[in-house]
Chains A and B, each alone.
Chain A
Amino acid sequence: MRDVVAEPDRVDRSGSAARPQRRRLDVLPYVLVAPVAIFIIGLAIVPALFTIIESFFTVNELDPPTRFSGLSNFVELFHNHAVTNSAANTAFYVVVGVALSTVLGIAMAVLLQRPFRGRGLVIAILILPWALPGVVEGILWSGIFDPNAGLINNLIATLHFGAGNGVLLGQNRLLTVGLIELVQVWQMTPLSTLLIFAALQLIPEELYEAATVDGANGWRRFLSITLPLARPGIAVAMVQALIATLNIFDQPYVLNGAASTGSSVTMETYFVSFQNLNFGQGYALSLVVALVTVALSLLVVRFIYRRVEL
């Protein structure tokens, strides 16, 4: 990829047509880049600095003025039961979500690895859940989980496994977070599948043929060819799943409301900031989430990603 980026520059430098423009200061590129630069600096870099700096301040609409308060926002977070509870839920979302979306992504990518008639159509259907808003997916799945009209309870009744009126969401914490995360996995898996699928497309068929000649069975070929060579795709898929799960908001908010059985850290950030109007603590919490996200992403890249040379 880096070479592709460098190529046009090299051509540009030697290209006779571009040379006259480079003698004086060429303002054109600055004009072209300026709008994006203004957006990114004004609405991404500056706000991010706000978050970092103001997390060390008391910023509370109900308790003005804004004043420096050191680490007290961070200390308070650890004593806020709702926050620590949501951190435990979020840890569950992350572990289950990353594991499940990665495993399903690998399985689906392997299913699609070799061309077959209708593969394009299957891929079109496969990416559907990725394209839909998380909130509306919450609405769709609440129809699956509903005690009366839901698909799961109806299947239980039809198959005579039970009365089929069990309350699935909010009844107990493990079931609740599990079902909420299932909805998010439904949304994330298409992208994981595509990323891993793209990595699999680069594996030369001859490798499999040689392994078959050497007597390796399907499972053996999967373990020693497919899996190692898919690692770049798997790492990128895991990072995107990690970011999505650590920042989960839409699914628990819609499926389970503000209830503590499913609330995530991002939900608590929202409640602390926009209901309690304690922005300082909200800043601290979003900063912690950001740092954990970056740290875990780097870990995944460090241990899973391997540059593949073919």
Chain B
Amino acid sequence: MRDRRHHPLRAVGIVLVILWSIVPIYWAAKSSLQTESAARARPAQYVPLHPTLANFRTLLLGSGNVATGIRHSLLNIVIECAAATAVTVALAALAAYAFARFHFKGHNVLFFTVLATMAFPPYTTLIPLYRIMSAFNLVNTYTGIVLVYVSGFLPLAVWVLHNYFSSIPASIEEAGLIDGASRLQVFWHLVLPLATPGVISIALITFLFGWAQFLFPLVLSTDLSTQPLTVLIAALQGRHIVPSTLMSAAGILAIAVPAAIALLFNRYIVNGLLAGSTK
């Protein structure tokens, strides 16, 4: 019955979806494996005829300004995303548990306030956040960037984790409490393990959000000490001094981590996104 419904055009459509998703990535990957003259050769080489890792060797082992900058900003983006993810998930888990399980004065007002900030368009707070960070001397510091990221990522994390915690039967916790465990022990030993898929989902999504940031770090980090890879790459592109194949290699480096996460953990990411969007 089911198979009879498969329209012949569907296979064509699915092939188109796959091509649409990967061709731009393929083209950059191809270019990153070529010399500049091979990439510009006509007739075009749609596959690299003489693939070379020279561009990647330059970026990862070279000693020029571009290469050292790329390596430093790669380290920066990893530090900032990892720190922002750890803080976001930890704080959101505690708050989400409180919102899911406790009755307390101000519960609804606080919960609504946290969720309402999700409706703010992303850049409404760009200028004031810059001025606040600048007043506290936190521009060009990891702390400043991580604080801003966490404040932006918390609402979704609280919402998704709240839904996961709410779906766990309260009877499990009551059993733990009767056995003499404290509420925090119950949370740590009973609730959190059951909510692990949700925690993994939101951690991965938060990490990807952090990796994708551009305008906030563009404003909040003006030098290489804290600039993430995204900001440095855009600056290099704007200056037109870097050969396009080297830019392609830098682009491939910048997408390697998020692409790997998306491909390997797509189930967690899809579940987390759908848990966060059904309001």
Chain B associates with chain A: yes
A90 to chain B, nearest CB (A): 12
B33 to chain A, nearest CB (A): 13
A299 to chain B, nearest CB (A): 14
Query: Given contacts A36-B158, A132-B259, are A48 and B21 in contact (CB under 8 A)?
Result: no
Flag the segment in B38-46, B51-59, B62-70, B194-202 that touches A.
Answer: B38-46
B91-126 residues with Cβ-Cβ distance < 8 A to A are 91-92, 94-95, 97-104, 107, 110, 113-114, 117, 119-126
Report which residue of B42, B102, B152 has the largest number of chain A beta carbons within 10 angstroms of its beta carbon: B102
Report which residue of B107, B167, B250, B262 has the largest number of chain A beta carbons within 10 angstroms of its beta carbon: B262
Chain B at the A interface: mostly helix, strand, loop or mixed?
helix
Are B151 and A44 in contact, with the CB atoms below 8 A?
yes
Please, how many angstroms separate the alpha-carbon atoms of A127 and B17 in the complex? 11
Query: Given contacts A137-B24, A139-B248, A140-B24, are A39 and B154 in contact (CB under 8 A)?
Result: yes
Q: Interface size bucket, A side? A: 35 or more
Are B31 and A286 in contact, with the CB atoms below 8 A?
no
- For residue B184, which residues in chain A have a CB less than 8 angstroms away from its CB? 28
Query: Given contacts A157-B42, A158-B43, are A44 and B125 in contact (CB under 8 A)?
Result: yes
A238 at the interface (CB under 8 A from B): no
Query: Given contacts A8-B100, A45-B113, are A111 and B174 in contact (CB under 8 A)?
Result: no
As a 0/1 sequence over residues 282 to 308 of chain A, the CB contacts with chain B under 8 angstroms (1 = contact) are: 110011011001100100000000000
B218 to chain A, nearest CB (A): 8
A191 to chain B, nearest CB (A): 7
B211 to chain A, nearest CB (A): 6
Are B129 and A47 in contact, with the CB atoms below 8 A?
yes
A131-176 residues with Cβ-Cβ distance < 8 A to B are 131-144, 146, 148-149, 151, 154, 157-158, 164
Query: Given contacts A127-B269, A158-B44, A286-B127, are A43 and B148 in contact (CB under 8 A)?
Result: yes
B137 at the interface (CB under 8 A from A): no
B13 to chain A, nearest CB (A): 5
- For residue A75, which residues in chain B have a CB less than 8 angstroms away from its CB? none
Flag the segment in A81-89, A91-99, A117-125, A223-231 that touches B.
Answer: A117-125
Instruction: Count B interface residues, CB 8 Å.
Output: 111
B219 at the interface (CB under 8 A from A): yes
B183 at the interface (CB under 8 A from A): yes
Are A4 and B166 in contact, with the CB atoms below 8 A?
yes
A179 at the interface (CB under 8 A from B): no
Are A32 and B24 in contact, with the CB atoms below 8 A?
no
A279 at the interface (CB under 8 A from B): yes
- For residue A78, which residues in chain B have a CB less than 8 angstroms away from its CB? none
Q: Per a CB cutoff under 8 Å, which of B14, B31, B148, B230 touches A136?
A: B230
Closest chain B residue to A250, Cβ basis? B214
Closest chain A residue to B184, Cβ basis? A28
The 8 residue pairs across chains A and B that have the minimum distance between CB atoms:
A43-B151, A47-B128, A154-B44, A131-B262, A50-B128, A29-B102, A32-B98, A47-B125
Given contact pairs A48-B128, A124-B262, A286-B127, a sample of 16 additional A-B residue pairs in the complex whose CB atoms are under 8 Å apart: A32-B102, A43-B150, A45-B113, A48-B124, A50-B128, A111-B17, A120-B267, A128-B22, A131-B208, A131-B269, A135-B233, A149-B31, A151-B27, A158-B43, A240-B277, A243-B121
